[in-house]
């Protein structure tokens, strides 16, 4: 419901993760060696799996790392 309401209220709203993904995609190619330090569980935010899959498929090497400290 929230997603539908947001589309009605703000139809042109673009999430910052979508903007980031588009900007990065312009620079990613098979020669790209990408190290994402502090990436969390994903490179892009939730619900952007297709865009993330495209980024990874078009890069030469992608490595994500994040530190998880447990108490």
**8 A C-beta contact, residue 52 and residue 43:** yes
> Which pLDDT band, with edges at 50, 70 and 90, does 66 fall under?
confident
Give tens-digit pLDDT for 8-39.
Answer: 898 888 889 999 999 999 999 999 999 989 88
Residues 61, 9: Cα–Cα separation, whole Å: 40
> Which pLDDT band, with edges at 50, 70 and 90, does 54 fall under?
very high
Residues 25, 29: Cα–Cα separation, whole Å: 8
Pairing of strands 33-37, 61-65: parallel
pTM of the model: 0.70
Residues 18, 70: Cα–Cα separation, whole Å: 31
Residues 68, 38: Cα–Cα separation, whole Å: 10
């Amino acid at each position: 419901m929230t997603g539908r309401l947001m589309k009605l209220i703000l139809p042109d709203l673009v999430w910052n993760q979508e903007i980031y993904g588009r900007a990065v995609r312009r620079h990613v190619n098979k020669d790209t060696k990408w190290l994402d330090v502090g990436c969390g569980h994903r490179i892009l935010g939730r619900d952007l799996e297709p865009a993330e899959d495209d980024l990874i498929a078009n890069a030469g090497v992608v490595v994500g790392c994040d530190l998880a400290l447990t108490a």
